[in-house]
Amino acid sequence: MSKPQSIIEARAALESGALTPASLVKQTLENIDQWEESLNAFIETLPEEAQAQAAATSQPGRLAGIPIAIKDIICTVEGHTTAGSKILQNFQALFDATVVKRLKREGAIIIGKTNCDEFAMGASNEYSAYGPVKNPWDLSRVPGGSSGGSAAAVASGEVLAALGSDTGGSIRLPASFCGVVGLKPTYGRVSRFGVIAYASSFDQVGPITRTVKDAALLLEILAGQDDFDATTSAEPVDSYVNECGRDIKGLTIGLPQEYFGEEVHHEVVATVSKAIKQLEALGAKTKKISLPLMSAAVPTYYLLVKAEASSNLARYDGLRFGQVDVPSKKLLEQYLQTRGKYFGPEVKRSILMGTYVLSAGYGEAWYKQASRVRTLIRREFQAALKDVDIIAGPVAAEVAFPLGSKAADPLQMYLADLLTGPASVAGLPAMSVPCGFTNGLPVGLQLIAPHFQEELLFRVGHAYEQATDWHQQRPKLPSAENK
């Protein structure tokens, strides 16, 4: 039979006997072999482990026999967990992250660990110690970051689904740039246990898939309270798959004027505006709204996450995790040499920025003030979402940019989070859905819902997806001369 294009299709083929777990794993490994030389989407593939898992698959789980890729900041007992960093190049986790346990409980097969910006710090996937990931639609362009490997793997057809993490846009931006579906759940919706931390009060694991219904299925499995993560919520987990197919007539969609401003490329605005028109044709109402504090979201975000990152990174010294060989006679000398040699430039920048804003005399002026502004941004979104059911706009101000064009300019790279950062600061669930192309490159429609109302994202996203065919578009395998 033809290759399945979604988890739902793969499940049907497995249940009918048209595919077996072993044949689906074989297909997936063949897909990776075809694309990987061009993309560099994986840091490590796990063929032997995946084949063994396929042979042992017998339970009737919702993901039984489905290969899934895992971003390399998420701990798995299989293979290594490097966080895209040389300082963890030898690290092998002794346990699975909660999200991996929940996938395995439903029969999922772990096919490999995907490339990412080092410690998830980046918007282009050029800061990985294992080389940049390339966008399958145009190998001269970035896939977005930091979950670029996961998005590129799904977009190219290497895998049907992957896990990513989103701190300030690290799922949604790659999903938009690569033309796939990417979901950042509400903060506290999904466990962070076993996930290498960037900024603990922002990080959330979420799915990257080809369809909205696949994302809904994965969130049903991933979501829920976890005794190993005190920040997870006791809010009940809905049947998100059942939301896919519900009518959107009568829903009011808020359109913040700040998401359509002059900073956003006019062709992106035009493409997203067409998508909004399609939602109106499906019966939704639209209302123009304003989020004036959005201009403060990116500086607020970066002050807070760099402060948290500098604290989280203190544990990586080359001694406790993924030991590295740096000969030294004194402990301080060991720390300085190891961290100087094995941390990349963005990680070092994060340590310097974070340490500065937390230092004596500056904590009140910078960190505490940013925390207060965060509260104001959260309240502004909550007030806006009382008048509308959901917020819509672009994911990014532009399409995927050329490799190397921003890597040397941190400020320009940080501004890539201009439209994704606000929802992260507010802790809201948000999703990117493919909504068209500009100059042959994908554009994503961003949907933002109230806290713990992911069902609205799936309801609206699926309705739009079914009325269009953008999610069915696939990049072509590069010819040998273009690799």
438 pairs with which residues across the strands?
Answer: 441
Catalytic residue among 124, 146, 176, 432: 146
Per-residue CA distances from 20 to 2, 12, 108 (Å): 14, 11, 13
Q: Which of 165, 170, 350, 424 is catalytic?
A: 170
Is residue 170 part of the annotated active site? The answer reads: yes
Amino acid sitting at position 426:
A
**CA-CA distance, 117 to 345, in Å (whole number)?**
11
Tell the residue number behind the tokens 């009518």, with chain if given.
Answer: 247
Residue 11: Cβ-neighbour burial (10 angstroms; 0-12, 13-18, 19+): buried
Please calculate the CA angle 58-28-66 and round it to the nearest 5 degrees. 30
For residue 184, what is the enclosing H or E element? strand 181-184
DSSP 317: S
Q: Of these residues, 71, 104, 113, 134, which one is catalytic?
A: 71
- Burial of 186-220, coded b for 16+ CB within 10 Å and e otherwise, reads bbbbbbbbbbbbbbeebbbbbbbbbbbbbbbbbbb
Rounded CA gap, 51 and 269, in Å? 45
Closest CA to 202 of 467, 458, 417, 471: 417
Specify whether the CB–CB gap between 455 and 434 falls below 8 A. no
Yes or no: say if 410 and 282 are a contact pair by the CB < 8 Å rule: no
Is residue 146 annotated as part of the catalytic site, yes or no? yes
Q: Is 135 helix (H, G, I), strand (E, B) or coil?
A: strand
Query: Residue 479 — φ and ψ, nearest 5°?
Result: -75, 165
Answer yes or no: are the C-beta atoms of 420 and 395 closer than 8 Å: yes
Q: Which of 108, 388, 379, 428 is nearest to 248 (CA)?
A: 388
Q: Distances from the Cα of 293 to the Cαs of 314, 328, 345, 352, in angstroms? A: 32, 49, 30, 27
Q: Are 35 and 477 in contact (CB under 8 A)?
A: yes
Instruction: Describe the strand order of the beta sheet including 430-438 as a list of residue ranges.
Output: 42-45, 109-114, 67-71, 161-166, 204-209, 181-184, 430-438, 441-448, 390-394, 252-256, 285-289
DSSP label at residue 188: T
Q: How far apart are CA 140 and CA 382, in angstroms?
A: 40
Say whether 71 is catalytic.
yes
Cα–Cα dist 2/24, whole Å? 11
- Residues serving a catalytic function are 71, 146, 170
